[in-house]
Chains A and B, each alone.
With several copies, the nearest count.
Chain A
């Protein structure tokens, strides 16, 4: 396992800026979908869980990993589905190309 590196702080800070610049432009109506979307994305901890569940590091890590995979998967699946459901409401059938 690699140690903590200084450059990762750059990554964190820059990603924070990206998040900030993006979120401030999301219109208020989309705040609920946004919350649900970031919620789904935060299930990225699945990535850590997968390693834990599959690395065969012993019973405890595997069990904890399994629970973590399950929890995170609930989040991913449910989160993206519901975000999509919400966003579907903003599609107007007769809207066509009227709006840019």
Chain B
């Protein structure tokens, strides 16, 4: 083994290790940033390692590519608003897939348009360009839907299933033929083209709400394309990074579809039959943002000020002890917890007091409405536990409502509102609560006691 090879392989091994450590660091939020810097370092190491490759003889195109890429990539990283994250990630997948696909195509062309390609390598190249091509167009479609360049609703037409299955069959046949005999450039390029079309037909029928799952899945495909590249050119860091991506994207899309209460298959194939939108809508057609205990937990774990708004639902669930538990955890994490007691919360005067006293929550933390209403705007999270009427903005605005004129708690001024209740059912006054549909409100459905227990559990994990 030449020292150059040893150097390259060592660089690749190091890069692989850094990638793994970097991903691993994401399991601990406090260390995540550090870890991603390690991963970036890994990327640098891999690039440097590659540049000493003896095959590389000219650097001008490389430098040009690196410069142009950086010039485009930097603003994409720095200026894209956080809210545009999903579409940014989607378009980014496209770039990754373009690279993988072009490398595959160039490789095939370079090897005598398949003449010098062995069968195993052909298999790898085939996977590379297939996954790559479908990721290119698929990602672009996803981007278009999220950016609202394309209609975000599922786009379907009659016979779509048949067409899709047909295309898939043809691509598979071409692939099999190429493996048997790689020297069929026509078949190869046709396969690439089919991959591109297939990407479109995969994503178009899926609704905007399910896009995160799709993006994550495309991430997985992009990873598999990289891994296939690795197999094709015998490069381990590509195989490892590709496998990491492939696994992570795949698992993530499963986790996410589960969090949306949809089966993974439903998201993917249900689309062909135009699945219902994932998010609930009310009579007025407003969407409700459901949140998982995990997500709610992290928000609470990192909040500086949490204001708990207990209501009759806390009493029904007898969740007062769990409230105390949760508050203790948040305080242990350095946050502050206050309790906003609305004068008519519950079903008897002082209902909340009795229960919170039972849970030994100090009187000083119980705040009257007038005292706390100005605090909500400083709160990171307003945690509404089984309260409804007492936080219903209709009391301020809707003259027709039975609670019009009642002063309410200004929970909506908090940066984030998390509401624990079992359903979208109304409270005592029997009226809908518009708060639940606001942008900064998330609903954690379920019995308050059980939900709180889950939150406690998750915060401990975080």
Direct A/B contact, Cβ within 8 angstroms? yes
B397 adjacent to chain A (CB < 8 Å): no
Nearest CB of B to A19, in Å: 3
Contact A31 B27 (CB under 8 A): no
Interface residues on A, range: 35 or more
Contacts of B5 in A (CB 8 A): 6
Give, as a whole number of angstroms, the nearest-CB distance from B165 to chain A. Answer: 28
Tell me whether B33 and A42 are in contact (CB under 8 A): no
Instruction: Give every chain A residue within 8 A of B256 (Cβ-Cβ).
Output: 31
Measured in the bound complex, the distance between the Cα atoms of B80 and A31 in whole Å is 18
Q: Given A42-B241, A47-B238, A76-B73, verify A22-B13 contact (CB < 8 Å).
A: no
Known: A24-B251, A45-B225. A81 touches B74 (CB 8 A): yes
CA distance A20 to B249 in the complex (A): 10
Q: A27-42 interface mask toward B, CB cutoff 8 Å, 1 = contact, 0 = none? A: 1111111111111111
Q: Are A45 and B36 in contact (CB under 8 A)?
A: no
Which one, B26, B73, B247, B252, contacts A77 given CB within 8 A?
B73
What is the CB-to-nearest-CB distance from B430 to chain A, in angstroms, rounded to a whole number? 34
Contact with B along A14-27 (1 / 0, CB 8 A): 11111111111111
A77 touching B92, Cβ below 8 Å: no
Tell me the minimal C-beta distance from B113 to chain A in angstroms. 11
Asked if A4 and B123 make an inter-chain contact with CB atoms under 8 angstroms apart, the answer reads yes
Interface size on B, residues (CB 8 A): 121
| A87 and B245 alpha carbons, distance in the complex (Å) | 19
Chain B residues in 8 Å Cβ range of A94: 304, 334
Q: Give per-residue flags for B1-45: 1 if the beta carbon is below 8 A from chain A beta carbons, else 0.
A: 100011001000101110110111011011011001101100100
Interface residue from A30, A74, A75 paired with B29 (Cβ < 8 Å): A30
CA distance A66 to B232 in the complex (A): 19
Q: Which listed residue, A38, A47, A71, A75, touches B23 by the CB 8 Å rule? A: A38
Q: In the assembly, what is the distance between CA of A72 and CA of B88, in Å? A: 15
The contact of A19 among B33, B120, B246, by CB within 8 Å, is B246
> Complex formed: what's the CA distance from A70 to B23 in Å?
25
Question: Which residues from chain B contact A17 at a C-beta distance below 8 Å?
Answer: 20, 247
Residues of B near A43 (CB, < 8 A) are 43, 95-96, 99
7 contacts between A and B (CB under 8 A): A16-B244, A22-B244, A53-B62, A75-B99, A77-B73, A84-B37, A90-B29
Seed contacts A52-B107, A66-B62, A69-B99; 4 additional CB < 8 Å A-B pairs: A3-B118, A27-B294, A39-B96, A77-B74
